[in-house]
Homo-oligomer: A and B are copies of this chain.
Amino acid sequence: MKPSIKDVARLAGVSLGTVSKVLNNNPTVKPENRMKVLRAIAQLGYRPNPFARSLASNKTYMVSIFLPIMSSEFYAYLFEGIDDELSNAWYDSSIYPLFSKRRLVDYSNPNAFPYQSDGVLLVSLIPEKLFEGGHVPTKKPVVLVDACSKKYDSVYVDNVYGGYLAGKHLLEKRGEVFLISISEKGKPEFASGVFEQRRRGFEKALKEAGLALPNSHVFEIGESFPEAFTVAREILQRATLPVNIFAVCDTLAMGVVEAVKESGLTLGTDVRVVGFDDLKWSEKLGLTTVRQPIVEMGKKAATILLKRIVGDDSPRYEVRFKPKLIVRSSTGR
């Protein structure tokens, strides 16, 4: 039989109410008792029954996560941060991928299932583009991650600056400059604009050096590895070496790296590549990249959402993380 709050109370030698207080971070419990309770919880492997909590408190202890459907590792990291923070507060999360506009229409109804939760995390999504009227159809707290809106709490990385860092770095090298970006034209509702921002920063760096980025040096593709591979192959065929490429995310950069391998050219001298994200395998690949603190962003967003859920009504939070350039062998040593 799974342990209940009663078992915890008995083992800790306190009352039901005290255990409940500990679970809910109520400050009116003596540190000594709190410790006893936490020890008992750990010892029994106790986890509160979410249904009982919900029934009694009329809260759900659930947060809904909306995200555009993209298969990037990025989300795996982001969720790691989010889930970590939520589970500390004994919360759970439910994911709602926006497969299609149809699904989006469903979620324009304030009674839709995802809004039964205590709060909503909007990932890489912008309410103004997503919903008519420009706001999420719920009274529950909403926090944006990897996106920014003036009307909502927002946690994101300074993408413009990140692009700028990439540009600055590549300009130290000899050779022509190319950009491989992701097009969000086909699905304006689901566009977060981050790739556009990275491009702006990149172009700013060029402009400061008195350079411009001709259209022929810009490639806008889907978010997949094979597309980047194909496009990179094309660049390598027609450009004069050396070539410097900024890919707006590491998945694309990886496609470029593979194309370089295939071509027999040397990465870091003939062809230099800068990515964006710094995923797990980026280091192994020796990929120079703009690192964003993905896990940390997830944590921060979850923290803010939890605060709002328990009633924090301070003015809008806006947390902008600074990305950092990580130099590796893909741009020489």
Give A contacts to B, CB under 8 Å. 49-52, 54-55, 60, 69-73, 75-76, 79-80, 92, 94-97, 99-100, 102-103, 113, 186, 221-222, 224-227, 230
Contact = CB atoms under 8 A, between A and B. Distances in A.
Contacts of A100: 73, 76
25 contacts: A49-B55, A51-B51, A51-B52, A51-B54, A51-B60, A69-B70, A69-B97, A70-B71, A72-B99, A73-B99, A76-B100, A76-B103, A79-B103, A80-B102, A92-B113, A94-B94, A95-B96, A95-B97, A186-B225, A221-B226, A222-B226, A224-B224, A224-B227, A227-B227, A227-B230
A99 B76 CA distance: 6
A97 B49 CA distance: 25
A95 B95 contact: yes
A99 B75 contact: yes
Number of identical monomers bound together in the oligomeric complex: 2
**Which 9 pairs across A and B sit closest by C-beta, in order of nearness?**
A51-B54, A76-B100, A51-B55, A69-B71, A222-B224, A51-B51, A76-B99, A222-B226, A52-B55
A222 B103 CA distance: 24
A50 B113 CA distance: 12
A60 B100 CA distance: 28
Nearest to A190: B71
A226 to B, nearest CB: 5
Contacts of A221: 226
Contacts of A50: 51
A60 B50 CA distance: 10
Contacts of A99: 71-73, 75-76, 79
Contacts of A227: 222, 224, 226-227, 230
Contacts of A76: 99-100, 102-103
A121 B92 CA distance: 20
